[in-house]
Structure 1
């Protein structure tokens, strides 16, 4: 995958409102769009960390969580491999994504390690050579992984040779006159009057900006392709879902947390917890974006990620 790869995207723009109405895209772009859902959250942090178009911290505390892992000594982890896995998580769709015209994952294509002992019966493999096998040896024997996994003839995630309509809030539908008219009517347009078509070249940098805008904007296409940056978004205070009548908390799976609260405004200053809660927090970094969205309650603000999932 070369970062120089470009897509041609036909975009319908309302100049008066400085807004993208919708984009007409081929299967290559839609495949890349859907591949963003497979990226682990820790990978997204690394991709967006130094992206020039992001003028705001779009991932909130995920960045702090990632930096905390980087700053912690190796002796705080069970093995060095666990720390590496949290800092450089790999998508479980990595081999599929190598078929993409533009692969945002950038994982080492041949990084697969097994136990070097011929007498070992383990068939396990690891992406890190600091992992220990069940026999106790470091899994240092490097093997060649497949460059790609064969996909259907028409695409990686989508099986369709026709074009697609992508709305400004990232709802994706197969292209048809009916879909186009519905999008226009829903937005209050009676036709194409006042709108113009523009052909955009979209590459690696533009997709990165779009990825950042997923978390901050209800109109990520407009922000990424017209305004060229992510907007700052005010997040409302979230409350944990209340327990319903009859709900039972499993004590064996519950974590005890000692929270220190400032009396003046009841703001949490810090918390003391055991390794169980910390393990759960750190596991957020390896969750793919789609799973992070599906596990979130209805109050969680993840921009337009939910539309892309649906």
Structure 2
């Protein structure tokens, strides 16, 4: 039984709860500066070429490419990564999603998703380039990661991590959350005999997706998006049900991720890093980039409530992160 002094009536407690919530949200910073083309950036991915040019890849437009001299911009549209779409013979192969790019030696690999909204018939494909430029990409087709209604995951939202020459693909959306599978070297196909295993889910819900793993000072941080992602102009979820960014961490890239309270990510764990606040609505589709000047950067898409709620109005957002506590705090 709780002590008497803790048994406050809701009429007294609720105002204090809302004050605390308001203070927490007020502490979240606004996105950093973005100039040039900052709109229509669903699921952005940032990579910096050795010559200092920043490339931003994003969903739709057959993987849209923008470039800039800095993460702040000005961002300029360059074209589509795969102007002919994907060779994967599935619905959605002309409207590609959730790009992820990694450099291995002198080659860049671009991973993308083929699917349609709400469907579990999906696959992850890969293309390669030596320059990152629009018009330079060669589609290699499927990585061997696919899904249908008989599987516990959806084969979208790829993120590849290289650990001392061993490659792991993190992927998954809705259904039973985020999974991982071992890849070959070079990582154009899954490793022989490798079976996807779950690394994050929220039991009782399906809205966990978009995992990104970032290694920092001995820990592997799993950032992911939770909530309803899209079409807010047609049907907005109840407050708090929209996209937000959560994180868990582990000393291994392959599992046992827990949140700041020690709750496993496979049992609903996840510490909030970024959520709706002020004019920022539904932030997610995130990635993490180690900028040579700024340090660790969380980037994402969000909707500016002063502009609108359509998917085509999604803005590019970014913030630096402070890991001094062992957990990422936005600045």
User: TM-score normalised by the shorter chain: which range applies?
Assistant: under 0.3
TM-score by length of 1: 0.22
Q: Comparing both structures, which one devotes a greater share of its residues to strand? A: 2
Q: Comparing both structures, which one devotes a greater share of its residues to helix? A: 1
TM-score by length of 2: 0.22
Q: Bigger radius of gyration, 1 or 2?
A: 1
